[in-house]
A and B are shown apart, each in its own frame.
Chain A
Amino acid sequence: MRKLIEFRNIVKSFDGQVVLKGVNLNINENEFVTLLGPSGCGKTTLLRILGGFLEQDEGTVIFDGQCIDKVPPYKREINTVFQRYALFPHMNVYENIAFGLRIKKLGDDIISQKVNRMLSLVNLEGYEKRNVTRLSGGQQQRVAIARALVNEPNVLLLDEPLGALDLKLRKEMQRELKRIQQEVGITFIYVTHDQEEALTMSDKIVVMNAGEIEQIGTPLEIYNEPINAYVARFIGESNIVTGEMRTENTLRFDDRDFVIPDLRMKAGETVDVLIRPEDIAIVPINEGVMRGEVKSVVFKGVHYELMVETRTGTSKTVKMHVVTQHDLANPDTMEKISANDFYVDLDDLENGELTDQDFVSIANAQAWDENDRDISLTRVTHNIEKKTGVYQITFATDKKTEITVKVYVIHPEYVEDARHNIGISALDFFITQDEIQESMAISTDLKTWASAEAWNLQDDSPVDITDVKFDFDPASVTEGSYDITFATQGRELKVETTSRHEEGDRVGLSFGPEDIHVMRKAVHET
């Protein structure tokens, strides 16, 4: 195939923000090339530079052996199908398609011949006289394609042309576009953020990210051998875990060794490991290379998508003391007030991280006026010192309605999971039955009441607590002490399977070395 277009080191920025960071790309004749990436990755900018509607800051565009940097758009042998079609509202279907030919001053008979050929190519015979503003999205799309193709360009640019169509129509137009491209045999450069569209239609996919090209390849290459985690995540469903090369061909992840083909990785190198969900098979628990518990099952039509937890997260269990506490009423002002005893971490006190407002929320202190409207607690007084012990704290309203509760300053044990670099802490707490019953999101409230937190041991960044386990029924909880366990996300693998499983099932997971794709760590991650 002959090289038709060459982008050489294209740089472009808008208002000081660099949108293209030196893009190099070759496009051959008669290829269906897709520029794929999230919005803002620079794909449309690259297309507009090729169309001549934007000028690059640096670099050169070579078209058919000629530098076209100084060629105005109307002289380029390139036509575009615009995102919102940009059909001329004052012309009917026929005149829209004939626009380019009329500019070239072709004879009426030739124009009519060419337009009619285009109308039948895009299946719009009989629509000549229609008003374009009254056509459906799909029909407008076809007019836009015909209007561009009638000029017999060497290259057709398509800027997210199917974005405004519904799913069914989009699928139909995908097939249609592919057919048209094969029929007219010219280069199509197609911009989209839809990976499925890219896989279906393209000969070549260019995956872009933040103004740079991540990978260029056929749909199969991009899907099966993504160059890094970014590409792998962007195309298709994926499980990506961090692993380490023990030797040139031994990969270790999640405490297991896998022998893989030699990929020229150095021993000791940290790598991203990709396993596609459809490559993992569910097998009886003793047969797989891994085992785990089914955490969720989502029906997807042809298959089920399971999340299987192969390693539990880091967890911490605390006691919840359910107490019966009655609101204190102040007969003078008709106000009521309530608050609970609570535990405080000495470390937090010493760091000065706790404000009076924090005490109000940890104690769940509240006050109401005679009409049951919430009123604010404006005064907080306490004798808390920076050592472990039991202290008193008093919350009061403006009208001196007040309540005093106990504060236990303790030095709790953190759970530190050195292997996975996660620390987690939570405190015992006191709570009333009413508060539990009134909670709209019990797991979230339990986290707040217990001041549950998890963090990365290396850089102290916060880690999500994804699992809150408890064995009481919030609607009918009685006085007493209960265990609450907070846990971070363990290792969950996404598995696509056609067999049925229930949440909580223990299963084995099976996959072979050929299902494991090892990638170098991406330098930049977004």
Chain B
Amino acid sequence: MKSFFRMSYPYLLWMAIFIVAPMVMILLYAFTRSGNSMLTFQFTLEHFANFFTDPTFMRVLWTSLRIAFLTTVFCILIGYPAALFIANLPERRQTMMVLLLTLPMWINMLLKTYAWRGILMNFDLESEIKVFIGMVYDFLPYMIIQIHTSIAKMDRELLTAAQDLGANRWKSFTKVTLPLSVPGIISGITLVFLPAVSSFVIPKLLGGGDYVLIGNLIEIYFLTAGDWNFGSAISLIMAVIIIVSMWATKKLDRSAQED
């Protein structure tokens, strides 16, 4: 057991260098003033104060949350019927369909987004709509696969039993299939909402220069403005939002299970 534990040292080292260290640095940057020497830190909360008092930043945050939320909702609305349809196909066709769904995921996201830019150029749409379409397109497969997995592993005999007990197709869906696929929906939400709220490539390419989400904001502060401290503070705010929403969905999942 001891020697087995020793085998994990390289991974612990890897995690320390590439995960823990950057996070500590972000924490450090977020709470300090710019222009520090390596030895003297001037701790401050002004970055957070700036962020939350500036209406522009607040609008960006609100837009990010709203578009991520809408993307998630639409992914569920489109994904659920699709997943249900696939789960009702014969086994071999199911594998085929899942393969077809995952196929676009093998292609670089940048490339797909550029393709969408080309397509959407021909339409006179608001930036937000374009970004929204790109996001739904990109994240939909994650939702479908999660929901499909939870429906496919459900015992089909349960639906027979529901019908036997007087439930028509709709009732057996709402009383059996739907509640039993909630864990799939929850993990689908996690897989869609989190990347959507922090995405920056899609808004950048599809939204044009005037459409800024929180991911773009971070990018601007790190790469263009060179203000690592403020960028870190925004990242930290994002991280907190993500952690809170993950905690909330977990909680929701658990209460759904107990029902």
Chain A residues with CB under 8 Å of chain B are 51-53, 72-75, 78-80, 82, 84, 86-90, 99-100, 102-104, 147-148, 151
Contacts and interface: CB of A to CB of B under 8 A. Distances in A.
Given A74-B168, A82-B157, A90-B179, A99 B257 contact: no
Choose among B162, B164, B168, B179 the residue with the greatest number of A CB atoms under 10 Å from its CB: B164
B166 A90 contact: no
B160 interface: yes
A53 B165 contact: no
11 contacts: A73-B164, A74-B165, A74-B166, A75-B166, A78-B164, A84-B155, A86-B160, A87-B161, A89-B180, A90-B257, A99-B162
A80 B164 contact: yes
B171 interface: yes
Interface string B156-185: 011011111111100100011001100000
Given A90-B179, A90-B259, A103-B171, A51 B157 contact: no
Contacts of B166: 74-75, 100, 103-104, 151
Which interface class (under 10, 10 to 19, 20 to 34, 35 or more) fits B? Answer: 10 to 19
Given A88-B158, A88-B176, A103-B171, A74 B259 contact: no
Contacts of B162: 88, 99
Interface of B: 155, 157-158, 160-168, 171, 175-176, 179-180, 257, 259
B163 A53 contact: yes
Contacts of A102: 175
A86 B165 contact: no
Contacts of B158: 86, 88-89
A72 B163 contact: yes
A87 B161 CA distance: 8
B165 A103 contact: yes
A72 B175 CA distance: 18
B168 A80 contact: no
Contacts of A78: 164
A86 B172 CA distance: 13
A99 B163 CA distance: 11
Contacts of B259: 90
Contacts of B163: 52-53, 72-74
Main secondary structure, interface of B, reads helix
B168 A82 contact: no
A103 B155 contact: no
Contacts of B160: 53, 73, 80, 82, 86
Contacts of B164: 51, 53, 73-74, 78-80, 82, 148
Contacts of A90: 179-180, 257, 259
Given A82-B157, A151-B165, 8 more contacts: A74-B166, A78-B164, A80-B164, A82-B164, A86-B161, A88-B158, A104-B166, A151-B166
Nearest to B182: A90
Contacts, number: 64
Contacts of B167: 74, 99, 103
Given A90-B179, A90-B180, A90-B257, A99 B165 contact: yes
Given A86-B160, A88-B158, A100 B168 contact: no
Contacts of A72: 163, 168
A62 B202 CA distance: 63
Contacts of A88: 158, 161-162, 176
A87 B154 CA distance: 12
A16 B166 CA distance: 32
A90 B155 CA distance: 12
A89 B161 CA distance: 12
Contacts of A73: 160, 163-164
B155 A86 contact: yes
Nearest first, the 9 closest Cβ-Cβ pairs linking A and B are A100-B165, A86-B161, A86-B157, A103-B166, A73-B163, A80-B164, A74-B163, A90-B179, A74-B166
A81 to B, nearest CB: 9
A420 B171 CA distance: 67
Contacts of B155: 84, 86
B57 to A, nearest CB: 43
Contacts of A74: 163-168, 171
B168 A79 contact: no
Contacts of B171: 74, 103
B159 to A, nearest CB: 9
A147 B165 contact: yes
Contacts of B168: 72, 74
A53 B161 CA distance: 10
A50 B180 CA distance: 28
A80 B180 contact: no
A129 B160 CA distance: 24
B256 to A, nearest CB: 8
Contacts of A148: 164-165
Choose among B166, B176, B257 the residue with the greatest number of A CB atoms under 10 Å from its CB: B166
Contacts of B157: 82, 84, 86
Contacts of A80: 160-161, 164
Choose among B155, B165, B168 the residue with the greatest number of A CB atoms under 10 Å from its CB: B165
A10 B257 CA distance: 43
Contacts of A89: 158, 180
Choose among B161, B163, B171 the residue with the greatest number of A CB atoms under 10 Å from its CB: B161
Nearest to A83: B157
Contacts of A52: 163
Nearest to A131: B258
A80 B171 CA distance: 18
A141 B158 CA distance: 15
B163 to A, nearest CB: 5
Nearest to B162: A99
Contacts of A53: 160, 163-164
Choose among B175, B180, B257 the residue with the greatest number of A CB atoms under 10 Å from its CB: B175
Contacts of A103: 165-167, 171, 175
A82 B165 CA distance: 12
Nearest to A98: B165
A204 B179 CA distance: 41
A74 to B, nearest CB: 5
Choose among A74, A79, A82 the residue with the greatest number of B CB atoms under 10 Å from its CB: A74
A349 B45 CA distance: 103
Contacts of A100: 165-166
Contacts of A147: 165
Contacts of B175: 99, 102-103
B166 to A, nearest CB: 4
A13 B255 CA distance: 46
A84 B179 CA distance: 20
Contacts of B165: 74, 79, 99-100, 103, 147-148, 151
A53 B164 CA distance: 9
A137 B251 CA distance: 31
B140 to A, nearest CB: 26
